[in-house]
Structure 1
Amino acid sequence: MSFAYSEGNPVEDTSRLHKPPFDTSRLDRLMEEAKLDALLVTSKHSIQYLLGGYRFFFYDYMDAHGLSRYLPFFIYVKGKPLDSGYVGAPMERYEKQLGKFWVSNLDLTNYTSTGYAGAAAEMLKKVGGAKGNVGIEVGFMPIDAYKVLQAKLPDAELVDGTFTLEMLRALKTPAELQILKEASEKVVDSMLAVISRHGPGTTKTQLFEALRQEETARGLKFEYALTNIGTAFNRAPYDKVWEEGETLALDSGGNYKGYIGDLCRMAYTREPDQELVDLLGQVELVQQAARKGLRPGVRGGDIFDWANGALSRCSVRDKMFFSAHGMGIVSHEAPWLMSTAFPRYPAYHAERPLEEGMVISIETELHHTQRGFIKLEDTVAITKDGWEAFGDHGRGWNIAGR
């Protein structure tokens, strides 16, 4: 694989070197609490965070290559942030020249999962972290790479460090919050554009593709769209036609600079009748109740107390469902507020205080067998004095073709 240096290439940018883009003191504290001495990080989302937003463009969609796979490693030793390192692929030398790495310990010579793992083990030895408890992301570690680490790090105990890395991302910086705000606004704007240009006679597949195009045009990477028309509760894209007098729910996630905007908005083929206004009004009642008291220091589980209080006043409460979860680089990241979420995880923050910088997705849905699937999903950030909702427009009945 060639990489010719010439006068035509850009001058290597070193302006980011040795400037960690995350709170290293917080990571050290979290590692101390978890009794971790070092970390070998392999998930794309965690590496993205630790490298300040970096993802190698060549493997952005697919890790498989030949008979193996792309498996980058970020190496971190507690208390020694400037000794951190990165193991990647040969073509990442292009990214190095563009100044994408803040770490100077780099090994960009690998092609297979076992090769990446072997290089990571050697780098960990080089920086004095090859003993004690070494955290890995168990769900993101292939067995062949794990066996290489076991063989090359005989003095280390490989333990799961996933929780520590997830907790590190729980508190967003102002820059991260701005990205999430823009992501949310762009997703809602995309939904409203689709609704304004489509109406009865359009299929779910066409709506799905239209939303993909609108999000892409706004600089988002389209991740998914869960769509519901009328009383068809199957949320996959297929040839179901949006008929006159049917509701439409658009629930979509768009990725902007590595962060997810995930919201849901409603549409109808004409001006809604009073029953539809009342039904969406009950969903809105719960959504507003769930956010009204948010601020640093309140118990995470209070969201559900407030929402359940509003649900008890709804005439269709037996058909309504409320949930809340953390948002950021990953959907359902910290704070973890409910043990019945999908996917399942412990409600770690239900009895703990919320903190400034946490971001929460709040969603209420109504499964009405006569009028259809009705839902709102909002993204709310905990601020110093309370909360701020991102992409908070388009909350009522949006009319097709307008």
Structure 2
Amino acid sequence: MSYDVTGIRAQFPALAAGIAHFDGPGGTQTPQPVIQAVSDALAHPLSNRGHEVVGEANAEAIVVESRRAMADLLAADPAGIVFGRSATQLTYDFSRTLAKGWAAGDEVVVTRLDHDSNIRPWIQAAQRAGATVRWAEFDPATGELTADDIRAVLSERTRLVAVTAASNLIGTRPPIAEISRSVHETGALLYVDGVHHAAHSLVDVDRLGADFYTCSPYKFLGPHHGVLAARPELLESLHPDKLLPSTDTVPERFELGTLPYEFLAGTRAAVDFLAGLDGAATGTRRERLAAAAAALEGHEDALRTRIDKGLSELEGITIHSRAADRTPTLLLTFEGRDATVAYRFLAARGVHAPAGSFYALEASRHLGLGDTGGLRMGLAPYNDAADVDRLLEGLADFLRS
């Protein structure tokens, strides 16, 4: 296993600005190979997909290669990879499509832990169908959302459960595979928000038991758009509203309008970049991704331990990220002081750790933080020990100020 963080950092032009980035949960910086892939796609002939002229062939190749790359990243079938403008847009689209089969008396489960993009679309779709919404609660003292918490709100009328694979606010990773077994025993579908999860975990959608899994490449070094993975046969059973001349073939059936080819090219490049994070890894792209995920986890765990140790020496802070299994993402609040003031204090010193609830509104409220949340710090592949030391020194200075 080999993780050369210095070599990795050298491939991120944005780091030349000298900022210590802890804003990865909101979107990562972009490595040069991804920037180059986007540029190359736009610099060469590009047309609507086809096979007759070079522009058509280039577009077709980009889409095919990007589906294969995302399938390797998620251990999914390329024929089940759907591209969209964002994970939020995809969830809204699928909520409207799935709700066509719901009726009064049916039930939909959402959780307090989730980002609002995996809550509000389901609530609104359920309201239109006359279905009932049931809430799964998490323990604010520990940050844990367990399979028992989900089972407590399941019934024979449950049609869908929407749950995050990792909280973008406090990092909690619920036991999705165990939750999946309980959900499927009721005959319901499981819709998993993997936007924060995919950036810090080796994903296997079948092992997770997710019927639908969404993620966003810009959270793992790629461009801004969304991706959904599902079994092709499940997609075949769904019929979204679409234009009459557009293809009815899966997965294109769910991709409304022309795809952003340059962003898809960047996404393929991002997956290839991730596969190279372990410089010693060989084998297929999926095998290299597995090795890279292990190397990245080791790197991030070491940095998180450094952060935890440093925070333990500071007074006047509360850490709300407490789950036993969580991503390297921490939410802090300060005794008698506004987290936004801490955010601005750090920003003035070239350390970016933003404050807010980050659209995890229900989670923030459930933690007793209202709509304001706290200061969030998240690690990304390019963070190093010097970044962590700057963060800890900045927090110490803030608490003394």
Global fold match (TM > 0.5): no
TM-score when scaled to structure 2?
Answer: 0.24
Q: What is the TM-score when the length of structure 1 is the normalising length?
A: 0.24
Q: Please tell me whether Structure 1 or Structure 2 has the larger radius of gyration of its CA atoms.
A: 1
Q: Which has the higher contact order (CA 8 A, sep 6+)?
A: 2
Compare the two structures and name the one with the higher strand fraction: 1
Identify the structure with the greater helix proportion: 2
